[in-house]
Structure 1
């Protein structure tokens, strides 16, 4: 395992095909996907393997980054992801994170996002990062605000009321 990011309670690394069942578990959980616009898209281990192979492994190769496997150190368990997705239209990285509900309300989302942001800015030299969040997802809104993101737009997409947040980006126009 190549460890990319190590925090007091978490580790982040590239996903691998052996992670398929854990990926299925957090992506098939309706509490996890409630605010994402993609509920129940990954409900089988085979779908999770395809996501890992066709999206994340491909993006590591093509862009040098993607979503990273989020490992809880105490339990040695893959509990979600945190990382970036390249947006070719905007030439920016989209910050995203999700984890199983039993790990919410413990500061782990902020811990993961803060450290992946440091990695993205200092190691990957990303010129700008943005995030889209459902306005009803107050926990994620707080994380982005605490990280220093600026709210730049609000719109409806994928059946959600989204807010866009930017960090160190050139002026944004939709």
Structure 2
């Protein structure tokens, strides 16, 4: 069993492990799930999914103590996606990201998972600022970020799409 990070009323948020291979493959090849992500089409095989689990998430747990975490739906027991943080060298910051299978959209699960992750970060992680980035057409994810208290910062072109950047300060930095 993987390390449980947080439990909410409807979700177990835990570290991924190789037993999650089929779930990662399922949500990663779903075009509705990856439509607005920077890595749509990156996972084509189960071996690709295994590579993400091993070389990204498990490696980042060891290096940073966090990465994207599995979202396990309590009622069904199914891993339905991910939520959590990524220390992203490309943007020189830590970002909050999430994905889940379409049959779980529109139930408030993204907000529930992100809220729990942010509360966890405030209590257990040495992070001051979190970014959230969304493709401009992904208004549902932008709405989730705004509901969580993220503030719009900028908009910029990247790989043929326009990205909206939001930020949330978990702690105030000392002045001076």
Please name the residue that 1:122 is paired with: 123
1:123 deviation in Å?
1.0
The one-character-per-residue Cα deviations of 1:2-35 (angstroms, maximum 9, x if unpaired) are 2111001011111001111110100100000000
For structure 2, the 5+ residue unaligned runs are none
**How do residues 141-152 of structure 1 correspond to structure 2 at under 5 angstroms?**
141-152=142-153
**How do residues 39-118 of structure 1 correspond to structure 2 at under 5 angstroms?**
39-88=40-89, 91-118=92-119
TM-score by length of 1: 0.93
Cα contact 1:3–1:13 (8 A) shared by 2: yes
Cα contact 1:37–1:159 (8 A) shared by 2: no
Q: Does 1:36 align with 2:37?
A: yes
Please name the residue that 2:163 is paired with: 162
For structure 1, the 5+ residue unaligned runs are none
Which consecutive segments of 4 or more residues in structure 1 shift more than 4 A?
A: none
Query: CA-atom RMSD, angstroms?
Result: 1.6
**Matched residue SS, 1:132:** strand
Equivalents in 2 of 1:99, 1:145: separation in Å? 19
1:89 deviation in Å?
5.7
1:45 deviation in Å?
1.1
Cα contact 1:60–1:66 (8 A) shared by 2: yes
Equivalents in 2 of 1:121, 1:92: separation in Å? 16
